[in-house]
Structure 1
């Protein structure tokens, strides 16, 4: 039997976060040690409740811990225009609140730290929300950096932004946290808008294929996806899961990427440095293309 990959998923559900959790749960090679939440797509009350709803729907046996309700230094912003007031496009009632998974008494930072500390092997962190929890963990416990195998992040962009002209939402929500994380020296895989908008989008045919699967999980996924797809057809967060389980469907390039933590127009902007003689050492692998057909196949196979 192939040894499973221990993972922590830090998220802000959110429709594409929910689909990322469903996808990760279906991947037998992943051992999900903990799910931690952060404010982002919606406030922390909703993101935590939504993570518990998804885990309950999937009957997941894992720790769920509530994380940061605000950014390190800047005022909190949310994306309810994209994900709806409840984070699920206004169709959160499709979940059964009687199935709410148990919430840990420990917060996200202590849960992540404890999971890393107690693991006999290095742990992969899949971070698909603002990076507040992740930055805080390693500010408090810098010695735990060596316990991380890789940090698979959905965030940033080497091209266009979404919340602003150059600012991708997850990095923009907490630009100081993103700046800290990109400079930790931990191995990073970055799934930015440069690739998710181009190669990780869904079309009506994909939604109908999901509907045709006709299980309880796929039916819920279909309805929240329909509500979300009207605003944003790209499924950003599942890319960070597949970067760990199915890297063969992607092309990655070694790059130096950093984040501007402040600025009227540039705050939260990620940027590359490609100067031939003066650029800093590469600090991450950036996903530059995805086989979209295989991406959709992997997504549908989760249901």
Structure 2
């Protein structure tokens, strides 16, 4: 008998890699997606919410009625959010225009909704955060006890031992609101961090995007075209015909933690450095004197992740796949 699926809330800012992450989550019977909360990040909040709703309709099944909540439109501490991440192109989805959403976002705020969900199911909810940590910090700060009721937070963010992708030191999600990221990392909630150390080591090649496009299903075709846009950006910037699908790896980590290698560390986020604002600090040798507060992903089976993601997407959404009912 298979174990009951893990109940998750996905806090995201779609975004191409968030879109693939949502597709992967709904393609995976190990997860029960309770809700999707949104925050400004790759694009502004209105576009993020619209993208999430359109993606839910594209996925179908249970996704078509999953609660989608509006969250914060900018940083908690510094007042003005970073400009849209240009990597993601038109609509934030690489120019892939999905059909108009058939519903609006749920009423209420993402933070308050998540607090209610977590308190109703203490110890059951894993929060997968693939965006700037503004909503997550807001949850932990404004709803005392919510953190203790969470099972775990899986974060896509930071670069513990690798260069950043916004500055030499900082990754986009942490740089967008370093104070929020610091609050979350030091919150005491069980934490897994999936950062650029591993996402850059698990690239998806153009061949996989072309396989999805060739399948011809609405969702596989859209996913392949989004990935192809991202690969074109990577080729222009890095000279490789492949791309990191950062947020999908975080979802995979919540499903199959054994795809990655994990290192205990005390972590925090630099908020004051002239050149290091937003940098993830990971102490793996106890130099700080603090006990470990996170598991940091430091290795990944790239081939296994690639096969995992591609096979799940084709099995769930391919032209020969049965209708998605979960």
TM-score over 0.5 for the alignment?
yes
RMSD, matched Cα: 1.5
Deviation (angstroms), 1:277: 5.5
Matched, 1:69 2:73: yes
- TM-score norm. by structure 1 comes to 0.94
2:108 is matched with which residue: 86, 106, 109?
106
Partner of 1:300: 310
- TM-score norm. by structure 2 comes to 0.88
CA distance 1:208–1:135, change in 2 (3 Å): same
Contact 1:27 1:302 in 2 (8 A): yes
Deviations 1:98-147 (A, max 9, x none): x4444101110111111111125420000000000000011011211121
Deviation (angstroms), 1:214: 2.5
1:231 is matched with which residue: 230, 233, 256?
233
CA–CA distance in structure 2, aligned partners of residues 231 and 212 of structure 1:
21
Deviation (angstroms), 1:29: 1.4
Matched, 1:283 2:297: no
Q: Secondary structure at the match of 1:142?
A: coil
In the alignment of these two chains, the number of paired residues is 299
CA–CA distance in structure 1, aligned partners of residues 121 and 209 of structure 2:
38
Q: Secondary structure at the match of 1:113?
A: helix
Partner of 1:89: 94
2:278 is matched with which residue: 244, 258, 268?
268
Partner of 1:178: 181
CA distance 1:278–1:134, change in 2 (3 Å): closer
Deviation (angstroms), 1:167: 0.6
Contact 1:37 1:68 in 2 (8 A): yes
Partner of 2:254: 244
Q: Out of 14-23 and 119-128, give the one that drifted further.
A: 119-128
Deviation (angstroms), 1:263: 2.9
CA–CA distance in structure 2, aligned partners of residues 222 and 215 of structure 1:
10
- Consecutive unaligned residues in structure 2, runs of 5 or more: 235-242, 314-326
Deviation (angstroms), 1:79: 3.8
Contact 2:209 2:223 in 1 (8 A): no
CA distance 1:89–1:142, change in 2 (3 Å): same
CA distance 1:278–1:81, change in 2 (3 Å): closer
- Consecutive unaligned residues in structure 1, runs of 5 or more: none
